[in-house]
Amino acid sequence: MSIPEITQKLLTTKKEKGLTFGDLEKILRRDEVWIASVIYRQASASEEEAKLLVEALGLDASYVKELTEYPLKGLGPIVPTDPLIYRFYEIMQVYGMPMKAVIHEKFGDGIMSAIDFTLDIEKEEDPKGERVKVVMSGKFLPYKKW
């Protein structure tokens, strides 16, 4: 997967400034995973959100326009055909890299276990229609050095 040039610049600047996605969450008043998805160009920000992000990173205002454009999301060679499974594929295409970035920031270099793992699906009542709540919990497994 190639990372867009703007993503490289935003991530490099974020790291140089010592900021976390959680820090940016407080500044933008948006969830850290959503902010990561903007940085990875899987979501678009409003002009106000883009300005806050660019200012927090100390970057030139020219970045605002690109962050407000609708991104090309999650291109991949294999697409599941079952509609429900496809939606999980779509979620990973759009939020996979942002989730990975936030997990690494919080835990370090490693993965979430799919063996020591739980998955709960809950039904939530909502005035706008029933909602599906998916809760995944996996043991963090750091990569070993040798």
**Could you give the residue numbers annotated as active site?**
87, 90, 113
CA distance 42 to 44: 7
**Pick from 47, 92, 49, 94: nearest CA to 72:** 94
Question: Helices in the chain by DSSP H: which ranges?
Answer: 5-16, 21-28, 32-39, 47-57, 63-68, 83-107
26: phi then psi, degrees, rounded to nearest 5: -65, -35
CA distance 137 to 146: 28
C-beta separation of 17 from 57 below 8 A: yes
CA distance 141 to 38: 27
